[in-house]
Amino acid sequence: MITNLPEPNEFKNLSIQYLAQAIDHIFKTELAISPAALVSSFGDLDEEWDSRQGVLGNSLIMLFLSIENFFKYEVSTQDPLELLTDESRDKIDSPESYDFETLYLLGLDDLVSKYKKIDVKSLSGSALTMLEELRVSRNKFTHGLHRELIKPNYIVEVIAEYLTDIWTPTWISEFREVMLTEPLYGLFNEDEENMQLLQYYKFFEDYLSQRKFKKLIGMPLEGRRYLCPHCQENAIESGSVLDAKYACLEPNESDSTEVHCWLCHGYAEIERESCQEQSCPANVIYPTDSYKLHTSNTCLTCGSEQSN
């Protein structure tokens, strides 16, 4: 018999922690090399990365582990014993007691096969190709020699495809749970998380096309983007150099009077009045709000304050 069976969330928790490490190996290394990346752009350090293949290798390995544990989570929700290799499954009916931790588990290929047999689960051809290429690269870094230079944009693209096509945008709420935040003046708890997540959004947006980035965070593919009055208030208050332009009209219609933010997931009522800046053709204004010092009575397109 087999004892000490795992809970599925044990694998999911590992998956999200490995994901955070995969992202941070690139994100934090770029910030260490060039702190101005938050102002200018991530992804412009190709020569620097050529001499840091070990860092990219670690990121790739962490990404592989994240994906592998995600599939373990999905399969174990059906039955944890489905994770066992044939050799280990022989222990199920044994009179002896075997701790689950001491047994061999399936590798990625077999996990993917079992995942595809779960109802409503499927993987596109491009996702399967991505997984195979990642497996080969990971094996070279782990068990052999990886002579071909890899670029951070390859890893970021794979991360985006994994999170968009396999995990889906719910990954953001789970990523928040393991994301390390720094204390920010005047902000607390969730507001601090939003400001840290704002930096990760900037990171992904610089590496990905607009379409891929919007799919990554679940934002509608069509429609203009606006400043979120709540997140922009916090960004200015905390001294951030980033604009929190992740809000969309809800619904995306010419007479809508509300925006929804894909960073904080909050809503804000707006007024449809023309911006007073001559160079700004927009008509989405956040009204006077006594609780907002920086975004009260401002245009959510250009950020300019409106006169009463």
Cis peptide before 251 (omega within 30 of 0): yes
d(CA 255, CA 213): 27
Question: Is residue 201 domain-shared with residue 174, that is, in the same domain?
Answer: no
Question: Is residue 153 domain-shared with residue 198, that is, in the same domain?
Answer: no
Task: Among 178, 199, 232, give the residue marking a domain's end.
Answer: 178
**pLDDT of 177 higher than 90:** no
Task: Among 178, 203, 221, give the residue marking a domain's end.
Answer: 178
In tens, the pLDDT along 31-76 reads 999 998 888 889 888 888 999 999 999 999 999 999 999 999 999 9
In tens, the pLDDT along 103-130 reads 999 999 999 999 999 877 889 999 999 9
Question: Is residue 41 domain-shared with residue 140, that is, in the same domain?
Answer: yes
- Residues 264-283 have a mean pLDDT of 95
Q: Is 96 left (phi over 0), alpha (psi -120 to 50) or beta?
A: beta
Question: Is residue 240 domain-shared with residue 290, that is, in the same domain?
Answer: yes
Tell me how many domains the chain contains. Answer: 2
Q: Hey, what long-range contacts does 176-181 have (CB within 8 A, 24 or more apart)? A: 177/16, 178/16, 178/17, 178/20, 179/20
pLDDT band for position 187 (cuts 50, 70, 90): low
Strand extents, DSSP E, 16-100:
98-99
Query: Quick one: which of 215, 107, 116 has its CA closest to 163?
Result: 215
Judge whether 52 lies within some domain. Answer: yes
Mean pLDDT of the chain: 92
pLDDT band for position 238 (cuts 50, 70, 90): confident
- Angstrom distances, CA of residue 123 to CA of 61, 71, 165: 21, 12, 8
Question: Is residue 32 domain-shared with residue 152, that is, in the same domain?
Answer: yes
Question: Is residue 213 domain-shared with residue 173, that is, in the same domain?
Answer: no
Question: Is residue 136 domain-shared with residue 39, that is, in the same domain?
Answer: yes
Question: Is residue 202 domain-shared with residue 55, that is, in the same domain?
Answer: no
Task: Among 144, 178, 212, give the residue marking a domain's end.
Answer: 178
> At 57, which helix (H) or strand (E)?
helix 53-76
Judge whether 305 lies within some domain. Answer: no
Q: Around Cβ 281, how many Cβ atoms within 10 Å?
A: 10
Length of the chain equals: 308
Judge whether 306 lies within some domain. Answer: no
d(CA 17, CA 40): 28
d(CA 297, CA 303): 10
CB contact at 8 A, 66 and 18: yes
